[in-house]
Amino acid sequence: MDDNPMIQFRCTSIIDGREHTATMSLKRSVWDNSSEQWRSEYLDSCRERYRVWLRKDAGVRLTDQQVADVSVEAVGETTDDSPPPQLVTVTLFGGPLDGSTAPVEIDNADPWTAITSDGCTYPGGRSVYAPDDTGRWAWRRDIPWDAM
């Protein structure tokens, strides 16, 4: 019998109708004896590791906001009843990412995405894309990194 069981954390998102799930583990005693701040930082690091895994596994690059929206739950411990983000891959038109694809939330009331790009007007900044009147995801502007 394991005197120090592991707790699993599951990250989930749905991209183009396909669910992507990854799990990470941590000793239960570490979690139980940690401060709320440390727990929050651990969950954020799970989301970041999920971002890297998803990029390698599915070739999908999530924006910082999409990573923040990723569902992270302790399997069998706590549940988050909110559904995982529903993402769909779109082609970007104009600007520095013209012709690239990006995952975007399909049910967002104010749809847009800001993506770090080498061609951005601001070094280290982001290029903002949003749907136009025809539904095409078009470049709107570039913004500095710290403007988000």
- Structural domain spans, the chain: 6-74, 86-147
**83 and 105 in contact (C-beta within 8 Å)?**
no
Rounded to two decimals, what is the model's pTM? 0.53
Cβ contacts of 108-115, under 8 Å, gap ≥ 24: 112/140, 113/63, 113/65, 113/66, 113/137, 114/63, 114/65, 114/143, 114/148, 115/61, 115/63
What average pLDDT does the segment 21-40 reach?
Answer: 80
Whether residue 53 is predicted with pLDDT greater than 70 in this model: the reply is yes
**R_g (Cα) of the chain, nearest Å:** 18
pLDDT of residue 70: 83
CA gap 49, 47 in Å, rounded: 6
**In this structure, what is the dihedral angle of CA atoms 31, 32, 35, 39, given to the nearest 10 degrees?**
30
Whether residue 77 is predicted with pLDDT greater than 50 in this model: the reply is no
What average pLDDT does the segment 22-39 reach?
Answer: 79
pLDDT of residue 78: 40
H-helix or E-strand containing 101?
A: strand 101-105
CA gap 7, 5 in Å, rounded: 7
pLDDT of residue 123: 85
What average pLDDT does the segment 10-33 reach?
Answer: 80
Whether residue 51 is predicted with pLDDT greater than 60 in this model: the reply is yes
Strands 137-143 and 126-131: antiparallel
What average pLDDT does the segment 13-40 reach?
Answer: 80
Q: What is the overall mean pLDDT for the chain? A: 79
pLDDT of residue 80: 44
Confidence of residue 103 (pLDDT cuts 50, 70, 90): confident
pLDDT of residue 24: 81
Confidence of residue 148 (pLDDT cuts 50, 70, 90): low
What average pLDDT does the segment 114-133 reach?
Answer: 86
